[in-house]
Amino acid sequence: MDIAVRDGKIVERVNEKKAERIDASGMIVMPGGVDIHCHIAGAEVNSGRLLRPEDHFRDVEAKTAVTRSGVGHSIPSTFTTGYRYARMGYTTIMNPSMPPLEARHTHEELDDTPMLDKATYPLLGDWWFVLEYLRDNRIEECAAHIAWMMNAIKGYAIKIVNPGGLEAWGYGGNVQNIDDPVPYFNITPREIIRGLCKVNRLLNMPHTIHVHTNNLGKPGNYVTALETMKCVEDLAKGDRPVIHITHCQFSAFKGDDWRTMGSGAEEIANYVNQHSHVTIDMGQVIFTDTTTMTADGPFQYRLYQLSGNKWVNHDVETETSAGIVPFRYKRKSPVHATQWSIGLELALLIKDPWRIYLTTDHPNGGPFTAYPRIISWLMSQTAREKTIKKIAKRARRNSLLPSIKREYSFYEVATVTRAGQARALGLSWKGHLGVGADADIAIYNVNPELVDPSKKYKTVRRAFQRAAYTIKGGEVVAKNGEILKSVYGKTFWVNVNSSLSMDVGADMKRRFREYWTVEYENYPIPESFLTASAPIVVKAEI
């Protein structure tokens, strides 16, 4: 079958005599890749870049006639980030952590990231306004304020990280489980998650709440992940998801301490298989030197204590925090190897590929350039076995992978790397090749009719590393790994229309100076600040 493209969209047909032809016979054609969670822009990412000149020295890209120069292995500079995604056939990415006060920074960097359409999620789970309104059970007012915030800083979804824990970290503390009250605010993480889940529905947001669970990275935390998913079970309507657990691997540990740490992937997969209100992404670990960066201040401090590596902390007034620690995942470490196994176990045990997505929580688990390697692990048990042979004995013994025969098909790979992600994000014009979709197309040089991915996993990996063609908005922007044309995509954000917006504005103005050290009028970002603003209008129920 043929695909017709005109004016940046996929259409029924075009005048074949006048059209440019691309012969994709013998190759596999997919929609452009969609990455639902990758830290590539903003304060946290840039602090990581600054922290690690050593990460940049060994990986440079010289300027060409078409491209700007750049650096970076785990935290590439902005231009390099765009080019590297484009080379892999990716065309849409989501930056998952934006501190609202520093939103301008995120948008400036996104504007300097070429080749991709993008959006970003503001961190709202510890915002004082949220904590206060939800504590008093004033859901509608909370929703109205979140609508104001989303519009003001051009955000796409409600991001929640270690709810309550970041506020406790303001004084160096943390929360221990989802019913542990937040100091000074008298609210529990459970109430925050449930409250924001209700808010999300009231606002008709295209994506669900996007949650990084409490107790991330702690042995035994799979219990917290299950409780988090359970706590909004009753809020589900029909079989549409209401919560997304991100980089689930980091929240799927069994055990009481590092010595007894094991995989909780089976329990989590069972739950996800039986409950359709949850989506997750992998957060796969790669054995490499990378950089961890999250808004989870207390977790990052603990990681510094464990590793002794350099540590950056950045608490943001009234809102959130962040931490950065370089980290190397080693094959011979039983803990790291178990983590590696957990990510794959999750992807292989969860039956519905529309509800589990391929990510590394870039760069936390590893750089996004490792995605093709993950694809080869998913498609080939041989590939998995080869790696398992080299990992720590204890992890090998306990891993479920040797008993899992499942191998992903190309359709499943397409789902977990683009179609499923687009659907979870509510981007109905992305992630598919039907008429009306954006003409974001990736053509990979591997023939699904001739190549057996189970045996020829290296061929598969190479094919996904360098797309034969990357087409963005109907233009061929990359070919066989070479960037042909530098283009800049759009920035999506959700423009929430609510009847309460006027009152909220006045309320915010009155209280602003009590909460922040900037003026009310300097906080919102004008739409003109974004080079290519693409608002998605939603009508709220309030």
Partner 1 sequence: MTIISGVTCPVCGSFCDDIEVTIKNNVITDVKNACAIGAAKFLGYAKHRQTKPLIRKNGELVEASLDEAIRKSAQILADATYPILYGWSSTSCEATRVGLELAEEVGGVIDNTSTVCHGPSILSIQDIGISSCTLGQLRHRADLVFYWGSNPWSAHPRHLERYTTFSDGRFQKTAWRGYLSRLSATLTKKRLRRAVNLILRRDVSVPPETDRRLPYSVFQKKRKMIVIDVRKTRSAETADYFIQVKPNSDFELLQAFRMLVRDEELDVDEVAGVPVEVLEEVVDIMIGCELGILFFGLGLTMSEGKLRNVDAALSLVRDLNQRTKFLIMPMRGHFNVTGANVVFTWQTGYPYAVDFSHGYPRYNPGETSVVDILCRGESDAGLVIASDPVAHFPQRAAQNLVKNPLIAIDPEVTPTTLMADVVIPSAFVGIETEGTAYRMDHVPLPLKKIVNPPNTCLPDEEILRRILHQVHKLRRRPN
Minimum distance from CB of 165 to partner 1 (Å)? 14
Q: Which is nearer to partner 1, 303 or 370 (CB)?
A: 303
Q: Which is nearer to partner 1, 106 or 421 (CB)?
A: 106
3-state per-residue secondary structure call for 214-272: CCCCCCCCHHHHHHHHHCCHHHCCCCCCCEEECCHHHHCEECCCCCCCEECHHHHHHHH
Q: Which is nearer to partner 1, 495 or 531 (CB)?
A: 531
Minimum distance from CB of 430 to partner 1 (Å)? 26
358-417 residues near partner 1, rule: CB under 8 A: none
Q: Which is nearer to partner 1, 169 or 357 (CB)?
A: 169
End-to-end Cα separation, the chain, in angstroms: 46
2-61 residues near partner 1, rule: CB under 8 A: 41, 43, 46-47, 49-53, 56, 60-61
Minimum distance from CB of 185 to partner 1 (Å)? 11
Residues with Cβ within 8 Å of 323's Cβ and at least 6 positions away in sequence, in order, are 292, 293, 294, 295, 296, 297, 299, 300, 301, 303, 304, 311, 312, 313, 314
Is residue 472 a contact point for partner 1 (CB under 8 A)?
A: no
Minimum distance from CB of 100 to partner 1 (Å)? 11
Residue 19 amino acid letter: A
Minimum distance from CB of 145 to partner 1 (Å)? 17
Size of the site for partner 1 (CB under 8 A): 58
Site map (CB under 8 A) of partner 1, residues 513-542, x = contact: -xxxxxxxxx--------------------
Q: Which is nearer to partner 1, 184 or 411 (CB)?
A: 184
Minimum distance from CB of 505 to partner 1 (Å)? 15
Minimum distance from CB of 74 to partner 1 (Å)? 11
446-465 residues near partner 1, rule: CB under 8 A: none
Is residue 288 a contact point for partner 1 (CB under 8 A)?
A: no
Minimum distance from CB of 425 to partner 1 (Å)? 25
Give the span between the Cα atoms of 177 and 193, in whole angstroms. Answer: 13
Beta carbons within 10 angstroms of residue 36's beta carbon: 26
Is residue 170 a contact point for partner 1 (CB under 8 A)?
A: yes
> Does residue 328 sit in helix, strand or coil?
strand
Give the span between the Cα atoms of 310 and 523, in whole angstroms. Answer: 32
Q: Which is nearer to partner 1, 33 or 76 (CB)?
A: 76
Among 401, 291, 287, which Cα is nearest to 335's? 287
> Given the rule CB under 8 A, which of 216-224, 236-244, 252-260, 303-311 is the region that contacts partner 1?
303-311
Q: Which is nearer to partner 1, 110 or 272 (CB)?
A: 110
94-113 residues near partner 1, rule: CB under 8 A: 101-102, 104-105, 108-109, 112
Give the span between the Cα atoms of 515 and 192, in whole angstroms. Answer: 20
Residue 438 amino acid letter: D
Is residue 172 a contact point for partner 1 (CB under 8 A)?
A: yes
Minimum distance from CB of 180 to partner 1 (Å)? 18
Q: Which is nearer to partner 1, 120 or 415 (CB)?
A: 120
60-79 residues near partner 1, rule: CB under 8 A: 60-63, 68-72, 75-79
Is residue 161 a contact point for partner 1 (CB under 8 A)?
A: no
**Do residues 99 and 319 make contact, with C-beta atoms less than 8 angstroms apart?**
yes
Residues with Cβ within 8 Å of 498's Cβ and at least 6 positions away in sequence, in order, are 143, 144, 147, 203, 539, 540, 542
> Does residue 140 sit in helix, strand or coil?
helix
What is the DSSP annotation of 100-132? GGGHHHHHHHHHT--S-EEEEEEB-TT-HHHHH
> Does residue 439 sit in helix, strand or coil?
coil
DSSP letter for 498, please. Answer: -
Minimum distance from CB of 13 to partner 1 (Å)? 41
Minimum distance from CB of 488 to partner 1 (Å)? 13
Residue with tokens 């011979």: 332
Residue 272 amino acid letter: V
Q: Which is nearer to partner 1, 30 or 187 (CB)?
A: 187
CA 298, 303, 306, 308 torsion-angle sign: negative
Q: Which is nearer to partner 1, 130 or 265 (CB)?
A: 130
Residue 47 amino acid letter: S
Minimum distance from CB of 188 to partner 1 (Å)? 20
Give the span between the Cα atoms of 334 and 394, in whole angstroms. Answer: 6
3-state per-residue secondary structure call for 28-42: EEEECEEECCCCCCC
**Do residues 87 and 467 make contact, with C-beta atoms less than 8 angstroms apart?**
yes
306-335 residues near partner 1, rule: CB under 8 A: 310-318, 321, 324-325
Q: Which is nearer to partner 1, 132 or 507 (CB)?
A: 132
Q: Which is nearer to partner 1, 256 or 521 (CB)?
A: 521
Report the interface residues with partner 1, using CB under 8 A.
41, 43, 46-47, 49-53, 56, 60-63, 68-72, 75-79, 101-102, 104-105, 108-109, 112, 170-172, 184, 301, 304, 310-318, 321, 324-325, 514-522
